[in-house]
Structure formats: C-alpha cells, structure tokens
Amino acid sequence: MTEMKSRAGEGLSPSQNAAQTPAAEAKAAMAGFLKEFSNFQDDVKSTLKHQEERLTMLNAKTMSYGRPALSARAETEAPHQKAFNAYLRSGDDDGLRGLTLEGKAMSTAVAADGGYLIDPQTADRIRSMLFATSSLRSVANVVQVEATSFDVLVDRSEVGSGWATEAAATTETATPIIERISIKLHELAAMPKASQRLLDDSAFDVEGWLAEKIATRFIRAEAAAFINGDGVDKPRGILLPNKVANASWSWGNIGYIATGAAADFAALNPADCIINLVYALGADYRANATFVMNSKTTGAVRKMKDADGRFLWSDGLAAGEPARLMGYPVLICEDMPDIEADAFAIAFGDFRSAYTVAERPDLRILRDPFSAKPNVLFYANKRVGGDITDFAAIKLLRIAVS
C-alpha cells in the first residue's frame, strides 16, 4: 500500500501535489468568484456612467431650446398662440386656418364671420378682468349660451298647498304662475389701435396689451348698460322698468323707498330711509343682498350714524373684501345716478336672483391695417345680453319726499 502511494506521487512536483488538497481547491474557487464579481461591478459602473451621459446630453439639448419640456396641454396650445401672435403682428393668417380654438374650428372667411376667434389665454384674461371690476356682472347671475337669446322661466308664485285630513276630500290647490323672460344677445365691440412699428417690436407683449384694451372698453360699455341700458342693441338695465312706491309694488315693476326730502336725504334721521330700504326687500332675498351706488352717494352714506351714534358704514377688514353698509356688501358702480331730485341713487337686492347676464363664450378679432394708417386697428366683438329676471329681488332708494 505504501509502495502504491509512492508510485502515484512519482513525477509530480510538490506544488502540484499541494494543489490537489481541498483547501487549495476552495481558495481557487473563491479567487474565481471575486474576479467575476469585480467584472460585474465594472459593467454596472459603465452602464450608470452611460445613462448619466445620456441624461446630461438631453438636458443640454432641452436648454438649448430656451425652455423646459412642456406638458401635453401646453404643446397643444402653443401652435394657437404662435399663429395668433403672427396674425396680430403682421396679419399672417395662414397659421390660423384649420386650427381649433376653444373646441371650435376657426373661421377662414374673415369678412363674413367677423374675424378669428381670440386664443384661449387672451380670452380667459379678458373674462377675468370683466369679473374683477366694479360692475353688476360681479354680483349677477352669468350664463354662457350658444344661441342668439336665453330664456329664463320664473315661478312667480308658490305651489299651492293645504292641510288635509284622512276622511275629508282634498281640495284643489292653486297652480304656479310661470313667467318666461327672453334675454336677447347683442353685439359688444371694441376697436383698440397700435402702430405697426410697435407691433414689429418683438419685446412688445401684443397679446397682453390687446387683452387689457379690449377688457377696458367692454367693462365701460357693460357697466353702463347693466344699469341704464334701454334694451335697444344693448342689455336692459336695472333702472329701465317702471318704478312704483313699494307699498304698490307688482310684478314687472321695481319698488322704491323715498328719502323723505326733495333733493337729498332727510335732515332729521337721514339713515332711516336706508333701514327702510333694507327691510322693504323680502327676507329670502336679504341674505344675499348687496347695495349698489356710485362714489358720490357713497361719500354721503358713509357719514350716516344710527340713533346710538354708530356709523352704518364699515370698511372691509381684509384686502379685497368689500365695504359694508348695515352689514351688507357695497358695490360701487359709477353709472348709478347722483343724489338729486327724483333720482334712484341706491339699489339694494339679491342680484344673483334679480339680474341675469347671458353671453356667448367666443370672442372674435379682426385686424384692419388700412383704415387708420400708419396704425393698425383691432376690431374685437362678442355677444352679450342682460335683463331683470326677478322683479321682487330689487328695491330702489328714490331721492324724493314720497
């Protein structure tokens, strides 16, 4: 046996004999594993470095365009803004043809349809300015329609009711009275102008300038019509219907309270007529009521005190909060009459119920570079109407003895 082992080891070096031991085999296997793991780490580092280089390249490419990546909505709106801006500056309307603004195909017949639809961003800016101003629109009921008129159904009476017993026959109750009020939409237009040289200046914000000019003219025209409009090619104002003493009020008329003096507030207890005006309005309307008057009337009213010497007027406690008269908000509308004989200087009511403004959502713009050279005219128009829809929801203060 010893001789056989001796012969088996013949011809092998000492290191070769040692390599055959279990410890040497484990050591060789571990070395191979560490080598493979090191190669794996190198591959991971190489992959991460490659990804980082790609991200850096993409960021550099994005920055070279001068803006961050846009959302899907912004990418959709960008062509409209670009095309509309080109039309305003140079009259190039090729980019507008076939586009869709606010869900509508844009007109290609400028002369027939009155121009192109204003882009959504400019239109929204105009609308926000209209609502933010001191106009009856800010407290009225505003609806958007697609037709040429808007019909309002008003229930002038309560549904009949009565007490019933188990045995007795039920009597017939009264039926409600339904009133239909049709609000016709009229065309409201504005025509701001700018020089072509100004439009050629790339730093000039033509869209912002246009939105401000259009909104300013729309605000003035609307504010006047909602108060004094006669219904001829314009809305019907709150002062248009026949006015009667509140004790004789009936549907279709506006009830009023007198100040007690011929051309001013009464010399003795001038605030009494304000209190009478508030309580002439029904309790169901007073909760959401607002005073409407101009600045001159405001100057006189805010000096009034009650019997205990306390001012009826209180300024808003926070920014943007309206001043209050007897706890009710005050809207300053300069188109309301001044304090003079027989003038209806103050209106008090729930105008959300009393007055409805109906308008089409689209605004159109037509560029005219010929009529006022070297200036360019921008003819903007929209459709809007307004009328009283609840005659019981408004009361007026008349500067008169009775």
Please indicate, yes or no, whether the overall pTM of this predicted structure exceeds 0.85.
Answer: no
User: Per CATH, is 78-157+175-233+358-387 categorized as 3.90.1170.50?
Assistant: no
The whole-number mean pLDDT for each consecutive block of 10 residues of the chain, a chain of 402 residues, reads 46 51 75 76 76 70 49 47 68 58 40 60 80 85 90 72 65 70 92 84 78 88 94 95 95 95 92 95 95 95 88 81 91 95 96 94 83 86 93 96 92
Specify whether the CB–CB gap between 357 and 141 falls below 8 A.
yes
Opening angle at CA 89, ends 85 and 90, nearest 5: 115
Cα–Cα distance between 244 and 246 in angstroms, integer?
A: 6
Specify whether the CB–CB gap between 185 and 385 falls below 8 A.
yes
Q: What ranges make up the beta strands (E) of 47-140?
A: 100-101, 104-105, 116-117
For 356, the 3-state DSSP assignment is strand
Cα–Cα distance between 258 and 268 in angstroms, integer?
A: 14
What pLDDT is recorded for position 159? 52
Domain chopping of the chain, boundaries: 78-157+175-233+358-387, 243-356+389-398
Specify whether the CB–CB gap between 359 and 346 falls below 8 A.
no
- Asked whether the CA dihedral 81, 86, 91, 96 is positive or negative, the reply is negative
Cα–Cα distance between 322 and 333 in angstroms, integer?
A: 13
What pLDDT is recorded for position 73? 41
**Strand 254-258 to 243-245 pairing:** parallel
Q: Which long-range contacts does 152-159 make (Cβ < 8 Å, 24+ apart)?
A: 152/180, 152/181, 152/182, 152/183, 152/356, 152/389, 153/178, 153/179, 153/180, 153/181, 154/178, 154/179, 154/180, 154/181, 154/389, 154/390, 155/179, 156/251
| Residue of 380, 381, 362 whose CA lies nearest to 103 | 362
Which phi and psi angles does 140 have, rounded to 5°? Answer: -85, 175
Architecture field, domain 243-356+389-398: 2-Layer Sandwich (3.30)
What pLDDT is recorded for position 168? 65
Opening angle at CA 373, ends 368 and 375, nearest 5: 70
The encoded tokens of residue 315 equal 């300024």
